[in-house]
Each structure stands twice: as structure tokens, then as C-alpha cells.
Amino acid sequence: MTEPADPVAAEAVAHYDAATHMDTHASLSDDDHGHAAETLGPIDWQKWAFAVAGGIAGLIVLVFFFAAIS
């Protein structure tokens, strides 16, 4: 593979190392696509409560629907 004549383009080309199966722009903490690992934030209890309440409301609607058609 030949290097581009433009030095900026040459810097953007990822060089794959067959021994480590990584390119030069990736580090050990990067995922398979070269993105840095993201940390998870705290649990949003309000959103979970809304999700559970929505699920329960959906089940109530289904119960009344089947009661109405039977």
C-alpha cells in the first residue's frame, strides 16, 4: 500500500499491526471500532418508574380489551 502524498492524509491512514490486530490510532481501552470505552452513568430511577408504570398501564388496557371482546 502506498502512502498518500498529502501529509495530513498520510496521518489519517490507519496502519494495521498484524501482531496485535489493532491499528496505530487505537489503544487497548478502545472497542472494536476504535471508540474509547464509555462509562455508565447513574441509574435514572424516574425513567425506570415511568417505564414500569407504562408497562402496567399497557397490561391494564390489554385486559380491558380482551374483556370487551369476550
Tens of pLDDT, residue by residue, the chain (70 residues): 555 566 655 555 556 566 656 665 555 555 566 566 677 789 999 999 999 999 999 999 999 999 999 8
Contact 30, 36 (CB under 8 A): yes
Local structure of 64: helix, strand or coil: helix
Q: Which amino acid is at 27?
A: S
Q: Return d(Cα 70, Cα 67) in angstroms, integer.
A: 5
Residue-wise DSSP of 16-56: EETTTTEETT--TTB-TTSPBPPPP----HHHHHHHHHHHH
What pTM, to 2 d.p., does this model score? 0.45
**From the CB of residue 26, how many other CB atoms can be counted at a distance below 10 Å?**
19
